Amino acid sequence: MPVDSSKSPNKILLVEDEFNIAKLFIYNLSKAGFECQHANNGREALNLAYNNKPDIIISDVMMPEMDGFEFRKKLLEDDELKSIPFVFLTAKGAEDDILQGFELEIEDYIIKTSSPKVVIAKVSAILKSLEKERVKIVDEVQKAADTMGAKVVPDEAPGFNGFKIKHWHLPFKNVPGGDFIDYIKIDDDNLVILLGDVMGKRWGAWYFAVAYAGYVRSATRFVLESGKENRPSEILHKVNEAIFNDERISEVFITLSVLVLDRKNKIVRYSGAGDLPIVFRSNEAKLIHSTGLLLGFNKSGQYEDHEIKINSGDEIYIVTDGITEARNKEGELYGHQRLVKFIDSIDSSEEPVEKMKSEILGFSDGELEDDVSFIAIKVL
C-alpha cells in the first residue's frame, strides 16, 4: 500500500535499539514512501518527537535507558505528543506486552517478524483512519460555521483613515481554529483591533473562539459606554471577569492582544493577556511586552496599558504563536529574534503581509503546527 506521492510523506519515528531490525524497518518504510527517523531508546525518541512531531510512532518495548512503556507514559503526559498515534513492536507471543500496551492507549502492535507488506499495511491503515476522522471533523466544523453564519476572522481589515491595516490568517490543516481577529470601530478617530488565540481543545477550538469573540465584543461595548477612555486594559479586565465567573468556559484559557488606534491624537494604546509581544518599528524594530495573565486564569489579570506615540511611516505588528513556534526541518523555533530581524528587513516599498507569508512558509517548509495569524499596521 504505497504512500500517495502527491502529498508530503508521512513522518514515522522508529524507536528500536537492535541495529539490524531498525535497518530493515527503515529500508522497507522508506521504500514505501514514508519519511523515517530513528531513535535507539525512549529518551532519544522524546526529543525527536517533541522537535519533529511525527505522524506516527513505532516503538520497541525492551530498550536501554528508557523502555517503550516508560516512553509511552511520558508521551501521554504531554498535551501535544499524546495524540500522536503509537504502535508497539513486540516479539511473537508476548501477550503481556500486548495487553499492557493497549492499556496505554496505543493504536496497534506489530510483531517484529512480520513481513514488510504487513508492517506497511498496518501503518497505512492507521494513518488512513486518522485522516478520515480529521476530514469528518473538518466537515462538521465548517458546516457549523455555515449554519451559524459565524466568522472568527474577517476576510479583510476595514478601512481607517490615516492607517493601512492588513492581516493574514492560515488555520491549522485548513480547520477553523482557535485564533480570532476582530475590528471594532468606535468612531471616526478610534479603532479597536483584537487578536486572540484559544489554547488547547484542538479541533473544538473554533467553537470556543466564537464564544470568546462574543465576550470580547460585549466587553468592549460595555467599556466604551461606561466612558473608560478607550483603555484596552479595561476591556481585558471586563472580559477576564466574565470568563472567570463562567463555569462553562472558565478552564479554557485565551491569549488576547488589544490595540486602540487613536487617529486624532496620534497614539496607539496596547494591552495584552498572556499574549506574545507586539513589534513596533520606527527607526528600528523592537518588542513591547505585556504583563497581563491569560484570560480566565486568575480573577485579577493585572492588565496594564502601553501608550505609543506614532508618526507617519511607523509600523506595528501583532502575531500569534503559530509564527514564533513554527519549526524548520532541524527542529529550530522561528522565535522572537528572527521575527524582529525579519521585520527590520522589510523595505518601505514592500508588502509586509506577503513577505511574512513567504518567510514563514519557507522557514517551516509549509509544515505548520498551529493556526497562524499576522496583523500589519502602518501609519500613513
pLDDT digits (tens, 9 = 90+) for 182-236: 898 888 999 999 998 877 545 455 566 666 667 776 777 777 777 656 789 988 8
Query: The pTM is what?
Result: 0.67
Angle between helix 205-225 and 232-244 (nearest 10): 130
Neighbours of 200 (CB within 10 A): 14
| Whole-number pLDDT of residue 208 | 66
Q: How confident is the model at residue 262 (pLDDT cuts 50, 70, 90)?
A: very high
* Bridge-based pairing state of the strands 56-60 and 11-15: parallel
Task: Give whole-number Cα distances, 198 to 13, 102, 143, 226, 273, in Å.
Answer: 29, 32, 20, 27, 12
Determine the Cα–Cα distance for residues 39 and 42; give it in Å rounded to an integer.
7
Please report the domains of the chain, with CATH numbers, ordered by start residue: 11-144 (3.40.50.2300), 150-379 (3.60.40.10)
Q: How confident is the model at residue 92 (pLDDT cuts 50, 70, 90)?
A: low
| Whole-number pLDDT of residue 264 | 93
Q: Which helix (H) or strand (E) holds 179?
A: strand 179-187
Q: Specify which residues 111 forms β-bridges with.
A: 90
% of the chain at pLDDT higher than 90: 39
pLDDT exceeds cutoff 50 at 2: no
- The contacts of residue 110 (CB under 8 Å, 6+ apart) are 58, 87, 88, 89, 90, 118, 119, 122
Q: Give tens-digit pLDDT for 297-328.
A: 888 878 999 999 999 999 999 999 999 999 99
- The contacts of residue 192 (CB under 8 Å, 6+ apart) are 182, 183, 184, 185, 186, 220, 230, 232, 235, 258, 259, 260, 261
